[in-house]
Structures are given as structure tokens and as C-alpha cells.
Amino acid sequence: MKTCNTTCPYCGVGCGVTAQREEGGLIRVVGDDSHPANAGRLCVKGTSLAETLVREGRLLHPMSAGRQTTWDHALDLVAQRMRSVREEFGPQAIAFYLSGQLLTEDYYVANKLMKGFMGSANVDTNSRLCMSSAVAGYKRAFGEDLVPCDYLDLEICDLLLIVGSNAAWTHPVVYQRIVAAKQKNPHKRVVVIDPRRTSTCDIADLHLQLASGSDAYLFAGLLHYLCVKDLIKHAYVDAHTQGFTQACEAVADLDISKVADKTGLPEQQIETLYSWFAATEKTVTLYSQGINQSATGTDKCNAIINCHLATAGLGRPGCGPFSITGQPNAMGGREVGGLANQLAAHMDFAEEDIDTVERFWQATDMAREPGLKAVEMFQAAAEGKIRFLWIMATNPAVSLPDTVQVRAALEKCDFVVVSDCSADTDTAAYADLLLPAAGWGEKEGTVTNSERCISRQRALQQPIAEARADWWIIKQVASRLGYADNFAYTSPADIFREHAALSAFENSGKRAFDIGALAALSAQEYASLPPTYWPAPVDGISGRLLADGEFYTASGRAQFMPVIPAMPVHSGTSDRGLSLNTGRLRDQWHTMTRTGLVPRLMRHQDFYSVAVNAREALRLGVNAGDVIELRGNAARVRALLLIDDGLPMGQVFSPIHWSDQFSGDACISALLPSVTDPVSGQPQSKFASVQLYALSTSLWGICFSRDKFLLPDTLYWSRVVVEGGYLTLMASANGELAPEVLSCLGATAQRCVEYTDENREDYRYISQRDGELRFALFINRERDALPLRNWLGSLGTQSLAVESSRLLAGMDASAVDSGRVVCSCWEVGENQIIQAVEKGACSVQDLGDVLRCGTQCGSCVPELKQLIQARQSEQAA
């Protein structure tokens, strides 16, 4: 068995993984002990990576207008359309929309082609949706996009503020590092600032459940507090910053009572936070989408950074404003300049930078103005201004706000190219040309994680079918456009060296992003490149970033930004009105094109659901499990209702992962209006005004099937993958369900084994072919009367010794149901855990000893604790 170290393609933690493989396939993936990000740890998503390397769902061949074509033809077509659109409508009519899933090398080549040779800066990326406010915040304050912290700071700080992040679910390994550090250091305090009480609060000494979007008040108020209490580090401020006075003036009226008023927090809690912040030397503020995805996200970032500048809380171990990114290579994209308002290698559209890059690239048609940011780009497409759009490795039809408009734009755009490893995405449906991209495990390159650590992704196997690396595809197009000499790369190593050389080109300390030391890597050195932090200038070791108090602004001083906080604006309210909050689920990733392939990742939370708290549900007259409709932005989604008492009144939470491929009317981004931050262009994905309505259901159905199917005309449907097939849950408002489903499955009731109890509307159908179960469909007017998910979800693995007529019972008379899966790593169910607690397990440790739950990635530990508590208080009562 061979092993290969590579990097996980999911969140921004960027864990090293060791893939163990055999001839013909990947066996399993474990954490890489030697990687600084995770030191062997891995979350359940990473652990399941081997299960995503399947043929299912992959785009295998270039497809032109729905027909398979050759690479030659496809590449000619791209080049020809790019050229003709550029000639006829100008360079501004072409655009690339990239992704934080791309490798740095792919990103670099795409960016170079567009900005250096097409004369357009219309290159933007889905990272716009994720951390562009953080970038803008850093740039305003530091003069460059610099994340001045690393994961070690999270461990060694004495006070950690986690703001707008459910790290326990979204960055599990970093969270586990924090948990471990807190266990070691009892004085370490963790404050979670989040409108939701999430799993991350499990380790919080203080949870500030503030009003959605009011974070800037809290941090602006903190600056005010620091001023008033004279807790400013004046020496530092005087020596290394500018704009302090204006920043203080801007917050002059934000005393604690005003902050309390705006945030809805008790003054006592605010006071506690402020006093801890003031009293703790080593403080890190870790922030993520809850801060960034806002109409005032950049200001929020600066409100945070201001406080760290005022207390000299950066440039030292255990300190700093730390933006953690969502994607595996958002940082790499930032480094190559993959955002429309960046040029390359942390250079912008200043005349000098343009000149530098132009010379370096020997560019023939240099972009001289920033291009269109993501939301603008699609608006331009809708207006007919973008006529050629190349989307790589992302699914904007699901992930951008106002997806109805985005889809209209894709419809309208003359020529849409989609390079992706997945065949069935909502975006692919709009493509004129589909290009099969190599996926994780098939490509070579680098990624940069949230702590500026560059790691190699390595190929474990050949690309499937005709899939090709993105850099190769772009290079081929560039060659066809006449730039073969400028894109004469033969390997990712060539590209990486050029990228590293550009970072060092005429740099001499002007730009912090300098990886000149890597510009001369041999092929062998590139192949074995260990995780490397930047800066890595050619002339030696760089110390801690910003340690010297020198910044990258014109003056060399850090800039305090005067922040005048603002609340998100509700558009119209009614008694059914709620504010929508969105986010990730623990075991899912983006639009589930990969995680959606892995059965065990679908067991923690399965069918598309949105959550409100119990009191809110009562007020709205809805119950857990009801089908509800959320309306807003002239669109709707339909979901099951979950009760989550961690949510505040007035808020509904929806996961972001669902698309038309998995659920009917579940694209939550459709409800988000295109409200963006004026500085960063980042959409306000954490807040929208919506109304919630209960929908009446007359019939429920659940189906195990070998094949997937969509039910566009059904009130509600949602599908998850299980071993050997799929489970689809569905509900209808009136009328029958069976005929439609059976017809989707190419069957009729007559050809099934069927059970009917018409008076109860209890209908069950089993179909087998050649001794293999094809599907099992159960319909009932009561959802509770449908078979248990665990039983139905196991049918794909059963050898069919079980006769059809017995399967119609919808249960296994001999098995005990283990319940909803809580620990995905070891597949331990809720019922098993409750039983173990009843038998005397009284700690997470005990449960781990008995059931192994919580002993791998640890992300279920908060839930395990809750279950123990709930059961114990039940027993006590």
C-alpha cells in the first residue's frame, strides 16, 4: 500500500491528509501527522474523502450543447467565442467566474490570461461571497491583504473572541485545537458572539447572542470603551497608526447602554466582554462569514481591527484580528489576484503595479481598471453586457444571492462555459459548453489555508475519463488565442515558479506577499514541497508578520477606519416576517456536489430543513416536521421545519447547501436580494427579510431508489444519498404521489409488489429486478407512519434474501433502530447514546469508551453533552 500526503479540499483550515492507496483505488484518508494545520486530526468530511472519488456524478467528456464532443473541438470553440465576443463587443464583454476550489496554479493562469492578454479584469470568484470583506478590511487597515495570525495564536491566546462563526461545524479541526488548548489552559477564555447558540458555544465562557448584524456596534463600542477607560496603547498607536482620533470620534456616542440598545445584549455581558478584552494581553478575534457576509462587512472587519490596533493586539504571538476563510484556496486566489479589484500577487490597479505586472507577464493587452465583482458580473450578464462567461469549479446558480436573477443572466448570456468535475449542477444546466475538470485527488498544485500556509495537493490517481486539469484547459485556450509562448507551461510547477517569481518581482519589501524563495524550486522540490508559510522571501526567513509595526500603506502606518455602525434594514415586515440567517451544516460542503455523494455525511441532518426556535414556531402556528414555505425577494423555498432553540426569536436559519439537484425549491440564495457591501462587493448572505408560511400536506412519501429522480411538481421533495442508492422524502398538498414517483422510476403499480390500505391512504410499492431491489416507495397521510429512515436507508446494502412482500412491512422485525446519527465518524445513533447514558455513561469520555462516538473528529461532542444532560435531567425529574 502506498501513501501520499495531500491537502483536504474542503474548508479553509487546509488540513494535511494522508491518502492510503492501492493499485486501482484509494483505500482511505487519514489526517497527516506532519501537517502544521491539523497534526493528524481530521473532521468527518475529510475522513470521507475517499468516498467522493467515484464515477457517479462526474462530468466525463466535453459536452457542447448537450452532445459529447472532442477536446479539440471544445477548446477551439472556447477560443473562437472568446475572440469573436472580444472583437465584436470589447474585452469588457467577457468574464471568468472562478472559485476558491481552484488550485493556485489554475487561478494564476486564468487571471493572467484575462488581465494580461484579454484586456479585461472581469475575473471574479466565489471567494467574493466568503471573505472579500475581510480582504477589504485588511487592505484598508494594513495596506495589504494580510492575515496577521496563525492557528497557534488561537491556542496560545488567553482570550478568544469567536465572532460570526460556528467553527465547531465549519472549521472543525481548528475548533478541536481550541478545545484542546482550553482544556490545557483553564485561564483561557472563549467568548462566542453569534445570534445563534451554536455547537461552538459549547466551550464558551460567555455567549453574546446579539441581534443579527449588530456586531459593528459591539466592536465600535469596545473602541469607545477603551478610549473612555484610557486603555489605549498610546505608544503603539502614536508610532504605528493613523486615523485614531477620527475613529474614536466616529464612535463617541457608543456607550455601553447604546450598544446594549442596538445589540439587544444585557449591559452586564457587554461590560464583561469589554473588561476581558481590555485586561487580556493575548487576545485573538476570530471572525468569519457572520462578519463578512454583510452590507457593512468591511466596516465590521475594521471595527474589529481598530480594537486590536488600539491595544497593540497584533504582530505578537497570541494576538490579532484573524479572518478565517471558508474555502480551501480562498487565500491562494487572493494571492494570485483572483478578485476583480486585484491585479496579481497582492498588486492592485495602481499605475505602477500595472506596469510591473505588464512587464513581468510581457502582457499584450493589460487590464487597467478593476473588473466586475461577482454580483455585478451577473447583473451585467443579465443586462447583455457580458456575452461570454466562463465559470470554473463553482455553482453560482445556487450560491450567488438572488439566484432567480443569476439564472436569468445565465440564460441571457450568449455563451456560457462551465468547467467542473460534476456533471449535474444547477449551473451546468445553463452551459453551452461543459468542460470536464480533474477533481481532488486527480490534480497537482498548491493551496493556501487561512493561516497563510501553502500546501501541496497531490494526485492520487489519473483524472477520470477525459477530465483535465483546469490550468491545462486554460493554457490550451490561451494557445489557441495566439499566446502559446506566454502560456508555455508544461506542469503546475512551471506555473508555481512563475507565480512565486512575480511575488518577488521588483518587490524589495514593498509587498508582504513574497514567496520568492519558492521561485526556483526544481520539479523534485515542488513535488515534495512541505507546508510552507508566507512570506518566504528569497533572502531568508521572515519573522512574524507585522511584528515590526511596519504596514504596507503609503505612510507605512496602520489605518484606523472611522466606523459608523449600521443595522441591516428589514424590507417590509408582517406578522409572518422573520430575518433569514444562512450557514453551513456540520457534515456538508457548498452545494453538496461532493459531500452529497457520501452516505454517512447525510446522516447528521438529512432532508432540507430550516429552523426556528420553539417559541417562534408556536407564534407562527407551525410544528416541527411541517412543510413550510419561506418567501422573500419574489422567490420561495420549501423546507421541513426544524426546531432549534439556539436561534433567537424572529430568525429562521437555512443551510446553504441545497440545490435543485437535491430538493425542490430549496435554493435559499434565491431569497437573498443582491445587497452587497459597498467596499468589498460581498453579498449580505446572513440577513434577508422573509415570511414563513405553513403549507398543508395531504400525503407524505419516502422512497429508497437505486436511481435518482426529481419531482418538480410536488409540494416538497428532498433527496439524500444512502448506501447503494438514494432516499427521497416527499409531500403533496393534494392528490396522489405514487403515480408521479412511479413514472419517474419507470414503473407502474401493476409491476410492483404493492400494499394498499386506501382508507388510511397507506400505499407501499417494492420493485425488484434480477434479484436486486430497485426501489421501495412508502406513502402515507402521516409522516410518522412512514418507515424509519435508518431501515429504509439500509436497503441498498441488503442482499435480497428478504422477499418483497416482507419489505413492504417497512421495518425489520428483528432489528433495533439506532436512531438519528450523531457521530458520523463511527456512525453512532441517538438511540444508542441514550441507551448508554441510561446504562450509566455519564460523560463524553464514558460514551467514547462504550460506543467510540466523539473519539475521532470530535465535532459531535457538543451534541453528546447535550444528550447526556437532557437524559440526566429527565432521569432526575
The reply on whether position 798 binds another protein by CB under 8 A is: no
Q: What are phi and psi of 142, to 5 degrees?
A: -105, -10
Q: Which of 116-124, 376-384, 635-643, 808-816 is the region at the interface with another protein (rule: CB under 8 A)?
A: 808-816
The reply on whether position 754 binds another protein by CB under 8 A is: yes
Task: Kindly tell me which residue out of 88, 253, 267, 757 binds another protein, with binding defined by CB under 8 A.
Answer: 757
What cell does 664 get? 425542490
- Which ranges in 253-400 belong to alpha helices (H)? 256-263, 267-279, 289-292, 297-310, 330-336, 351-361, 374-382, 396-399
Instruction: Return d(Cα 38, Cα 121) in angstroms, integer.
Output: 36
Q: Which is nearer to another protein, 749 or 850 (CB)?
A: 749
The reply on whether position 762 binds another protein by CB under 8 A is: yes
Q: What are phi and psi of 797, to 5 degrees?
A: -100, -10
Task: Kindly tell me which residue out of 524, 574, 750, 873 binds another protein, with binding defined by CB under 8 A.
Answer: 750
The DSSP letter of residue 192 is E
Q: Which is nearer to another protein, 23 or 758 (CB)?
A: 758
The reply on whether position 80 binds another protein by CB under 8 A is: no
Q: Which of 162-170, 452-460, 753-761, 845-853 is the region at the interface with another protein (rule: CB under 8 A)?
A: 753-761
Instruction: Return d(Cα 842, Cα 822) in angstroms, integer.
Output: 17
The reply on whether position 501 binds another protein by CB under 8 A is: no
Q: Which of 62-70, 499-507, 680-688, 799-807 is the region at the interface with another protein (rule: CB under 8 A)?
A: 799-807
User: How many residues are there in the chain?
Assistant: 877
* Letter string b/e over residues 506-540, b meaning 16 or more CB atoms within 10 A of that residue's CB: ebeeebbbbbbbbbebeeeebeebebbbbbbbbee
Q: Which is nearer to another protein, 95 or 752 (CB)?
A: 752
The reply on whether position 875 binds another protein by CB under 8 A is: no
CA-CA distances (angstroms) from residue 59 to 66, 107, 115, 459, 725?
12, 20, 28, 18, 19
Q: Which is nearer to another protein, 809 or 842 (CB)?
A: 809
The reply on whether position 801 binds another protein by CB under 8 A is: no
Task: Kindly tell me which residue out of 23, 230, 351, 758 binds another protein, with binding defined by CB under 8 A.
Answer: 758
What cell does 648 get? 433567537
Task: Kindly tell me which residue out of 755, 798, 827, 865 binds another protein, with binding defined by CB under 8 A.
Answer: 755
Q: Which is nearer to another protein, 252 or 809 (CB)?
A: 809
Instruction: Return d(Cα 367, Cα 145) in angstroms, integer.
Output: 21
Residue 684: strand, helix, or coil: coil
Please check whether residue 509 is in contact with residue 545, taking contact to mean a CB–CB distance below 8 angstroms.
no
Please check whether residue 692 is in contact with residue 628, taking contact to mean a CB–CB distance below 8 angstroms.
yes
What cell does 123 get? 475575473
Site for another protein in 136-175 (CB under 8 A): none
Q: What are phi and psi of 477, to 5 degrees?
A: -65, -45
Assign residue 624 a region (left: φ > 0; alpha: ψ between -120 and 50; beta: otherwise). beta
Q: Which of 292, 309, 290 is nearest to 301 (CA)?
A: 292
Task: Kindly tell me which residue out of 73, 615, 760, 781 binds another protein, with binding defined by CB under 8 A.
Answer: 760
The reply on whether position 805 binds another protein by CB under 8 A is: yes
Q: Which of 1-9, 25-33, 68-76, 810-818 is the region at the interface with another protein (rule: CB under 8 A)?
A: 810-818
Task: Kindly tell me which residue out of 529, 753, 802, 850 binds another protein, with binding defined by CB under 8 A.
Answer: 753
Task: Please state whether beta strands 772-780 and 762-769 pair in parallel, antiparallel, or not at all (unpaired).
Answer: antiparallel
Give the residue carrying C-alpha cell 461552538. Answer: 200
Task: Kindly tell me which residue out of 252, 564, 800, 811 binds another protein, with binding defined by CB under 8 A.
Answer: 811
Task: Kindly tell me which residue out of 814, 840, 873, 877 binds another protein, with binding defined by CB under 8 A.
Answer: 814
The reply on whether position 802 binds another protein by CB under 8 A is: no
Residues 6+ apart with CB under 8 A from 324: 12, 13, 165, 167, 171, 174, 286, 287, 288, 450
Task: Find the shortest distance in angstroms from Cβ 788 to another protein.
Answer: 9
Site string for another protein, 361-390 (x = CB under 8 A): ------------------------------
Assign residue 509 a region (left: φ > 0; alpha: ψ between -120 and 50; beta: otherwise). left
Cα 609 to chain centroid, rounded = 18
Q: Which is nearer to another protein, 249 or 803 (CB)?
A: 803
Q: Which of 468, 368, 472, 158 is nearest to 284 (CA)?
A: 158
Q: Which of 143-151, 156-164, 372-380, 798-806 is the region at the interface with another protein (rule: CB under 8 A)?
A: 798-806
Binding-site size, another protein (CB under 8 A): 23
Instruction: Return d(Cα 545, Cα 528) in angstroms, integer.
Output: 26
Task: Kindly tell me which residue out of 56, 87, 803, 849 binds another protein, with binding defined by CB under 8 A.
Answer: 803
Task: Find the shortest distance in angstroms from Cβ 682 to another protein.
Answer: 46
Q: Which of 42-50, 451-459, 633-641, 802-810 is the region at the interface with another protein (rule: CB under 8 A)?
A: 802-810
Task: Kindly tell me which residue out of 547, 809, 842, 870 binds another protein, with binding defined by CB under 8 A.
Answer: 809
Task: Kindly tell me which residue out of 79, 566, 694, 785 binds another protein, with binding defined by CB under 8 A.
Answer: 785
Task: Kindly tell me which residue out of 521, 808, 830, 865 binds another protein, with binding defined by CB under 8 A.
Answer: 808
Task: Find the shortest distance in angstroms from Cβ 764 to another protein.
Answer: 9
Instruction: Return d(Cα 675, Cα 616) in angstroms, integer.
Output: 26
Task: Find the shortest distance in angstroms from Cβ 860 to another protein.
Answer: 22
Task: Find the shortest distance in angstroms from Cβ 768 to another protein.
Answer: 8
Residue 237: strand, helix, or coil: helix
Q: What are phi and psi of 141, to 5 degrees?
A: -85, -40
Task: Kindly tell me which residue out of 54, 806, 842, 866 binds another protein, with binding defined by CB under 8 A.
Answer: 806
Task: Find the shortest distance in angstroms from Cβ 754 to another protein.
Answer: 5
Binding residues for another protein, per CB under 8 A?
750-751, 753-760, 762, 785, 803-806, 808-809, 811, 813-814, 816-817
